[in-house]
Structure 1
Amino acid sequence: MAARLTLVDRSLHQQEIRKSRFRAAAGPVADEAAAKAFIAAQSDPAANHNCWAWRVGQSYRFNDDGEPGGTAGTPILAAIDGQGLDGVAVVVTRWFGGILLGSGGLIRAYGGTAALCLREAEKVALVETVSGTVACDFGDLTLVQARLGALAGVKVEVDVFTDSGAVLSIAVPKSDAGAVERLLADLTSGRSLCRWNK
């Protein structure tokens, strides 16, 4: 199975097609709320059309924003899927230049502008993670935080300090969960164990 990719940061691409100006803005999004916020931030109310699409896992949406049905949102989504991307939203804004492009021309313009924007963007592999908690004594806390923090892809946050130590929230690449459990057990002689969220 090919690795799924997402974008590192926002990317922009602009081109003129038969006197209409098309600008694509693409960016990483974590969920539907983030996608809606990205679309709102990147849309230009003064433009003729702000067409968009996003995909997060199995969820996706697209919108033609007044262009003929299937000529804008669907090709933008196809550009996202065609490059194997996930957790991505794209807005293609059009300022009409006075020349009608026809259905085929619109599909090529919207899909092509989105595809060029995505092709130019810096990408990173999406890694499936699991999250959980680790209860840790004060005596082990510094060592546990340092060792977990040094592992690639592991995120560590202190959730709560207790009378005897702290409860850490961790997010770990799913493929490394077993190794992290063993590391914690070895570092603390079994005093700290992971409890993974279901």
Structure 2
Amino acid sequence: MNDQPYQVPKAMVVFEEEIKKSIFITYLARTSSVDDAKAFVAEIKAKHSDARHNCWGFVAGRPEDSMKWGFSDDGEPSGTAGKPILAQLSGSGIGEITAVVTRYYGGVRLGTGGLVKAYGGGVQQALKLIETEEKRITDTVILHCDYNLVSLVETLLSQFEGIQVDAQYSDKVVMSVELEKRVIEEFKIAIINKSGAKIEFPSDT
């Protein structure tokens, strides 16, 4: 599994435009799973149940994980809506994102080229409006240490931008910490070296 961080949407954005009397409304939102993506699509479809089409595409995980991609033309000619929407999303480098483009038909046909441009273009414009934040891939590490070494753990935890999740105090301190996956091994080596191997990671034994 890829442990590198990636960008995800901070908040939903909406972009609306009129093309040859048809109204196109593009919604972009963060959806962290395929189920979340489908729920968001259903929400927008319910909101615009009177629209002619609610076409959509999603990237429901890491940007490059095509196993979590999906799209639908929702009644538009095949390949004119869902694929252009997904192409914009997958090319954006943003993960956990769903686009729904609602169309209120205005009576003028756009043709296949016009539809591709309208659906893809709406998502492209909406992507320019979106703010993103970094999603870090983390894991929990459990360590055992003597009381006099707690401050060392806290210092190194701060250096590696980790957080303490839990601590239990008995004859030793049992601490659970959360760190970015890509720095866990480096963190463990630093802890072992600086403590003279007095701090233990029970899951490694």
TM-score tier, shorter chain, comes to 0.7 to 0.9
Kindly state the Cα deviation for residue 39 of structure 1 after the two structures are TM-superposed: 1.9
Aligned CA RMSD, in angstroms, stands at: 3.0
Q: Gaps (5+ residues) in structure 2? A: none
Partner residue in 1 for 2:76: 67
| Separation in 2, partners of 1:132, 1:27 | 28
Whole-angstrom CA distance in 2 between matches of 1:21 and 1:116: 15
Tell me how far apart the structure 2 counterparts of residues 156 and 41 of structure 1 sit (CA, whole Å): 37
Of 47, 68, 89, 1:80 maps to 89
Match for residue 54 of structure 2 among 16, 40, 50: 50
Counterpart code for 2:24: F
1:41 maps to: 43
TM-score by structure 1 length? Answer: 0.77
Runs of at least 5 residues in structure 1 that lack an aligned partner in the other structure: none
Find the aligned partners of 2:146 and 2:135 in 1 and give their Cα distance.
Answer: 34
Q: 1:114-193 alignment to 2 at 5 Å?
A: 114-127=123-136, 129-136=137-144, 139=147, 144=153, 148=157, 151-152=160-161, 154=162, 156-158=164-166, 165-166=173-174, 168=176, 170-174=178-182, 176-185=183-192, 186=194, 190-193=198-201
2:118 to 109, 123, 128: 109
CA distance in 2, matches of 1:27, 1:93: 14
1:27 equivalent in structure 2: 29
Q: Percent identity?
A: 27
Partner-residue secondary structure (3-state), 2:107: coil
Note the alpha carbon deviations across 1:25-64, whole angstroms, 9 max, x for none. Answer: 1122222122222222333323221111112322211001
TM-superposition CA deviations, 1:49-99 (whole Å, max 9, x none): 111111232221100111111111000011112323332211111111222
- Alignment partners' CA distance in 2, 1:105 and 1:149: 53
| Higher mean C-alpha displacement, 107-116 vs 28-37 | 28-37
Counterpart amino acid of residue 54 in structure 1: F
**TM, length-normalised to structure 2:** 0.75
Call closer, same or farther: CA 1:112–1:195 in 2, change over 3 Å: farther
Output the CA distance in 2 between the equivalents of 1:69 and 1:119.
Answer: 26
Q: Count matched residues.
A: 190
SS for the counterpart of 1:52 is: strand
Contact 2:160–2:187 (Cα < 8 Å) also in 1? no
Give the letter aligned to residue 13 of structure 2.
S
Counterpart in the other structure of 1:10: 12
